[in-house]
Amino acid sequence: MLISLLNRVQCCFGEFGSTSNWPHNRRPCVNTPDQDLHIWLLHLRDRLRPATWTADETAGLNNQRISAQTVRNHVREAHLRACRPHQGLDLTAVWRRNQLQWANAHLR
C-alpha cells in the first residue's frame, strides 16, 4: 500500500513538476491563480464593488463565464469583506454639538 502511494507521488512529481497539481476528483477550477489575484485586487481597490460586476468582467478558463458566487467565494477566501455605504442620516458637526450639549445637560 505504502509503496504504491510513493510510486504515485513520484510519478505525479515527475509529470507535473510538483505535487500541488495532484489530480483530484473534485470539480475543476474555473479560473487561474492569476485571475484569483486579479479578483482580490479589484475588491481591495473598490470595497463597494458587487461580485456580479467582477463576474461579468472576468473571463474564466477557456473563456467560460464565472459566476458571482465564485467571486464571493474567492473574496471570502482572501478574508475580505464587502463594505457597504452608510444608509442612515449624515450627521453634521452641528448635530453632533447639539447632541453633546443635550447629553451633558441630562447627565447632571
- Output 81-87 pairs: Cβ under 8 A, ≥24 positions apart: 82/43, 82/47, 82/48, 83/47, 83/48, 84/48, 85/48
Residue 2 clears pLDDT 70, i.e. is over it: no
pLDDT over threshold 90, residue 100? yes
Express each pLDDT in 67-88 by its tens digit.
889 889 888 888 888 777 777 8
Q: pLDDT digits over 15-60, tens only?
A: 555 556 555 666 667 777 888 888 899 999 988 888 889 888 887 7
Q: State the pLDDT confidence band at 62, using cuts at 50, 70 and 90.
A: confident
Residue from 66, 79, 69, 67 nearest 40 by CA: 79
pLDDT at 101: 94
